[in-house]
Structure 1
């Protein structure tokens, strides 16, 4: 069975706090008839800090979709390689041994995909398979895990690299004044994550089963309006209640595997907002503490779209991992309404190698800690291993 190893996650150096977000909302939308509601909703997200790929002054301007997409490409090429290198090192797999790259992002567009650029610049083989995923939104992190698992089942022993690059701030639309749009302005953050699924060996989550579930007739609940000015995020007010519709799918997949979804050893789920996690506690009959990694991601980084599940998984590693053989769930939720789910068991490091507890390091530490890495992050970038 294939093992999902320790992710590498990086967040940009520009930080905006909750208080700054609220002050901006009051200043930019002073005459909005529902400003009080918007402020309460933003406060209730639980998000305390978010990281942005550009300073807030630039984030709030809209130079046009062409310029924004150029920023996306430039920043992705500048920031993704170092994260990929750390993920490969974490898994102890060289670039030449990667057989498939799955690249997920819903916040910018490139063709050829970023996968082609990575193959050409980072030492991957020219016959490395490519699977870019652009239209699953926040669910794409879970989908990437599932497609990697499918590939490893089809080609036993294969290794897959997953990359999630989300610059949500590049989708800010100053003309979108609906409550859902204004809420999203205080919810989403930017991040990059990468992780390797090893066909043989490795420490982490040994994936055993995956599944998908689409809730019928919910296509318009989370969507993009694609206009001359770019991607306009559209959020239906019914979205916070979707766990009542998706929890049975989580229970069903676990039941097919002979597991009880209420009694797993770890849970790595997409944290779209606090109610998602609160409702999952209720519908799965679990204690709030089981979602502590997802909630920490939401608090410290906001909703970082497809990268959430990898950031939460990195936090599980940083906490020492799960007990050997512990069963667990990984799930991403997004447009459709879609759930992408996988089940797996924790596989620890061999006893003679020990288990190092990762930590967050600042850019100034990277050259010291990882002296062999030829690439550096932009100044101030934080990487979590």
Structure 2
């Protein structure tokens, strides 16, 4: 399937990591944390751990750790569709299309649950036709963007004349949780909000670039190393210290199965500084600098992040038949990893 447009969006409110520390300092939750936990927070937010700034959609972010589960769901219901719609509106403008031109809309998220899903809200806001296919993918975590593209390719295989939009959107600020668990603390210092929208057709677009050769690898035995659980009605992220090596091991499986076509660039989900450092030897000598820049400027936005990294890579390079394809890889809850090629 061929790319027609790629656009991203983040909330307008931006915070430096130092400002995030100031928020924690003023929050009532600080008094509930052990001294060790406060020291971890200070070390990450006031040190250099690969993230400079993050964007949050939740209003009054200083109150986020004391909001009820109902209040957090209200935030997701308001901000998730709005941010997704912003990204898709920009993608439609790039492709010179109207929302009514879309035959299908697929949205992935893991930071909130709505029924009907985000597609219902976005289709209403933007004015999709009432016969457009709407499909929501939930539960795939940070790796969800590539499986969503794979699902879009199946829609286009069944309906070659269709125009399909995909959105990866996360409001991580609506699932912020803070206690004395190191993984929970790191999650609060790592994640942020963002959305990425792509539009696809079965025929070449302006660039002639396509996504193909989708692969996946999942390890249910490692499920508890990275997943959400429910605590007091809220989503609480479980993040094991082994995640960087789990990611590297899973990506190794996909990298070994990539096939003989040449690769020009590797575009990886920027899951964190330690994650990128663990991935580097797996894909050497390919650089992960674009992913590191996305991490620096936006933090880990979960599922949209790999598409932000693709957008960043496309600023300075384009896949060609002579040089090879871009190889995209994402990973997350499951434990799972997913890849595809992006080229001519």
TM-score scaled to structure 1, two decimals?
0.80
Per the TM alignment, residue 53 of structure 1 is displaced from its structure 2 partner at its CA by: 0.8
**What secondary structure is seen at the aligned counterpart in 2 of 1:293?**
helix
Per the TM alignment, residue 55 of structure 1 is displaced from its structure 2 partner at its CA by: 4.6
Between Structure 1 and Structure 2, the one with more helix by share is 2
Cα pair 1:97 1:159 within 8 Å, conserved? yes
Name the counterpart of 2:196. Answer: 193
Name the counterpart of 1:277. Answer: 276
Q: Residues 279 and 344 from structure 1, CA distance in 2 versus in 1: closer, same or farther, beyond 3 angstroms?
A: same
Alignment of 1:48-67 (within 5 A): 48-55=52-59, 57-67=61-71
Alpha-carbon distance in structure 2 between the residues aligned to 1:205 and 1:215: 31
Per the TM alignment, residue 231 of structure 1 is displaced from its structure 2 partner at its CA by: 0.5
TM-score scaled to structure 2, two decimals?
0.89
Within the alignment, does 1:315 sit opposite 2:318 as a pair?
no
Within the alignment, does 1:3 sit opposite 2:8 as a pair?
no
Per the TM alignment, residue 38 of structure 1 is displaced from its structure 2 partner at its CA by: 4.7
Alignment of 1:240-279 (within 5 A): 240-255=244-259, 258-259=260-261, 264-279=263-278
Alpha-carbon distance in structure 2 between the residues aligned to 1:62 and 1:265: 47
Per the TM alignment, residue 57 of structure 1 is displaced from its structure 2 partner at its CA by: 4.2
Q: After the TM superposition, list the runs of 4 or more consecutive aligned residues in structure 1 that deviate by more than 6 angstroms.
A: none
Within the alignment, does 1:181 sit opposite 2:196 as a pair?
no
After superposing the two structures, state which structure 1 stretch, 230-239 or 150-159, moved more.
150-159
Alpha-carbon distance in structure 1 between the residues aligned to 2:117 and 2:257: 32
Q: Residues 297 and 59 from structure 1, CA distance in 2 versus in 1: closer, same or farther, beyond 3 angstroms?
A: farther
Name the counterpart of 2:238. Answer: 234
Name the counterpart of 1:304. Answer: 301
Name the counterpart of 2:77. Answer: 73
Name the counterpart of 1:379. Answer: none
The one-character-per-residue Cα deviations of 1:296-327 (angstroms, maximum 9, x if unpaired) are 11000000001101211221233353446631
Name the counterpart of 2:342. Answer: 344
Alpha-carbon distance in structure 1 between the residues aligned to 2:65 and 2:182: 20
The one-character-per-residue Cα deviations of 1:321-361 (angstroms, maximum 9, x if unpaired) are 34466312112101011012111314xxxxxxxxxxxxxxx
The one-character-per-residue Cα deviations of 1:107-149 (angstroms, maximum 9, x if unpaired) are 1221111212333342322222122011011011121112112
Alpha-carbon distance in structure 1 between the residues aligned to 2:41 and 2:123: 44
Cα pair 2:215 2:254 within 8 Å, conserved? no
Cα pair 1:15 1:49 within 8 Å, conserved? yes
**What secondary structure is seen at the aligned counterpart in 2 of 1:47?**
coil
Aligned-CA RMSD value: 2.3
Per the TM alignment, residue 154 of structure 1 is displaced from its structure 2 partner at its CA by: 3.2
Name the counterpart of 1:109. Answer: 113
Alpha-carbon distance in structure 1 between the residues aligned to 2:149 and 2:158: 14
Cα pair 1:7 1:313 within 8 Å, conserved? no
Name the counterpart of 1:92. Answer: 96
Which sections of structure 2, spanning at least 5 residues, go unmatched?
A: none
Alpha-carbon distance in structure 2 between the residues aligned to 1:84 and 1:340: 23
Match of 1:149 among 141, 147, 153: 153
Q: Residues 249 and 158 from structure 1, CA distance in 2 versus in 1: closer, same or farther, beyond 3 angstroms?
A: farther
Per the TM alignment, residue 59 of structure 1 is displaced from its structure 2 partner at its CA by: 4.5
Per the TM alignment, residue 44 of structure 1 is displaced from its structure 2 partner at its CA by: 5.1
**What secondary structure is seen at the aligned counterpart in 2 of 1:146?**
helix
